[in-house]
Amino acid sequence: MPDMRRHTPEPPAGAPEIQFKPGMADELLRELAPLLAEEGIDVKNLDVPDMDTLQQALSRAIERRNMAMFTPIGRVREQAAVTMRLAAEAIADGDTKLAAGILDQAQPESPDDSAATVAGCTGLALGLLDQWLAGHDTSAPASLATMTRLPAGHWTGERAARDILTCLPPHCRPGHDTPAPRSATWPAPSSVKAATIQAITGQCCDGGWNPPDDRWGQIT
């Protein structure tokens, strides 16, 4: 995307697209092989009592894989943190073209961990927002959630950004107790994070709240 800023409201999401990609199933099975092995299933020799057993094992393996993708650690987390921090700062400065360029550098996957991934950035940002806005981070202002305002105007990801802010405690309403599916939120978390950082900055200057520099560097 050349610019996160839009001249018109973001249209509603369309119906899911189904694409056939030869070899995708085999590739996924190879990725799940170590996890399935822990379930006693050898992907090169599928010998299971019934399809139910295989399906349950696959479901557990996919859930663990997705959790790992959205919970970056080590170098992968550092790359995701830098990407989200730079994007949030660009949005806060009003440079939505720079923000778009930074977010476009995130890759769908990075087998050698040489680049930030969309899943890693999304998972990290949503986790931090939950800590800050739900009151789990005791060093953040108690009223941070009510002070956070999304950027004005229209931008890519605005619908998901509203859902994220609305569905994080303490704003949850009945029927809206979880954020939008993570696959549909990119690049919305960067907008919400930028708004939160702006609220934090205002609280720091007006109310004297000033988080320790070293800890702030770790969580941003």
Q: Which pairs from 146-149 meet CB under 8 Å and 24+ separation? A: 147/199, 147/202, 147/203, 148/192, 148/195, 148/196, 148/198, 148/199, 149/195, 149/198, 149/199
Would you tell me how many other CB atoms lie within 10 Å of the CB of residue 96? 22
Residue 200 has what pLDDT?
Answer: 53
**Cα 163 from Cα 175, distance rounded (Å):** 12
Would you state the structure tokens that stand for residue 193, as one six-digit string?
Answer: 């994070």
Residue 145 has what pLDDT?
Answer: 74
pTM for this predicted structure: 0.69
Q: How high is the mean pLDDT in each 10-residue block of the chain (220 residues)?
A: 83 77 84 90 84 90 90 90 88 86 90 88 85 78 76 81 70 45 54 62 38 37
> Largest Cα–Cα distance of the chain, in whole Å?
65
Residue 62 has what pLDDT?
Answer: 92
Specify whether the CB–CB gap between 183 and 83 falls below 8 A. Answer: no
Residue 187 has what pLDDT?
Answer: 61
